Amino acid sequence: MQRRHPASRTGRPRSAAADTAILAATRQALVDLGWSKLTLSDVAVRAGVAKTTLYRRWAGKNELVVDAVAELFDELTLPDRGSLAADIEGVVLQFAAILARPEARSGLMAVVAEATRDEALRERIRASIVDRQKRLVIAGRTRAQERGELPPESDAERSARAVDLIFDMVAGSVVHRTLVSNQPADEEWVHGLTRVLLSGLAASAR
C-alpha cells in the first residue's frame, strides 16, 4: 500500500479500521460471490464504507483482491522440526491449509490470470505474495545446509536456480493439486511429495 504523500502530516488521517474492514469484506465477498461476480459496490456495503472510499485507496478490483489475499499468507512461518523433510512438510501443510480456504482459491488464481496482461499487477503479486513464500524456501535451505543435510552452495547463480526450481515445484504442486485436480493436499499426499522432492534433490545435487 503506497502513500501518495509520504510526508503528509496534515489533514484527517485515513481510517486504519476501514482498511481492515474492507479487506475482510473483500475476502468474505470472494467466498460468497467468487471473483467475477464480486463488485466493489458490494464490498463497500459489507465493509460499511462508501464506495468512493474504495476508489480513493485502490485503483480497481485487481489491486484490492491482491491485498486482501496477500494478508492470508502472513501466517506462513518456517517451523523448526529438526529435519529438512519435517520442515518442508510443515510449510507445505500450512500452505495447503491456506489454499483450502475458498477466499484464497477464488482470489489467487484470478489475480494471477489478470496479471498476465498487467505488468504492474505482476510486480504487486511478486512483492506481496511470492517473495514472502520464497523467503521460506531460502531459509529452509540454509538451515538444511547448516545441518549438513544439503551440500553447501558452491556457485551463487547455480544456487539461485535451485531455489527457484524448488519453489516452483513445491508451490506449483500444491496449487495444482488443490485447485486443478481439486483434491485435498492432506498429510499423506504431502508426505509423498516431500519424499520424491528430497530424494530427487539429494540425487541431483551429486
Positions touching DNA (CB under 7 A) are 4-5, 8-15, 18, 39-42, 48-53, 55-57, 60-61
> Any idea which residue has 505482476 for its cell?
122
Give the Cα separation of 72 and 27 in Å (integer).
9
Closest approach of DNA to the CB of residue 50, in Å: 4
- The smaller minimum CB distance to DNA, of residues 57 and 134, is found at 57
Radius of gyration of the chain from its Cα atoms, rounded to whole angstroms? 20
- The smaller minimum CB distance to DNA, of residues 51 and 132, is found at 51
Counting Cα atoms < 13 Å in the Cβ hemisphere of 84 gives: 22
- The smaller minimum CB distance to its own copies, of residues 48 and 60, is found at 60
Give the Cα separation of 156 and 119 in Å (integer).
28
Counting Cα atoms < 13 Å in the Cβ hemisphere of 125 gives: 18
Closest approach of DNA to the CB of residue 63, in Å: 11
Residue numbers at the binding site for its own copies (CB under 8 A): 33-36, 61-62, 102, 105-110, 112-118, 122, 125-126, 130, 161-162, 164-165, 167-169, 171-177, 179-183, 189, 192-193, 195-204
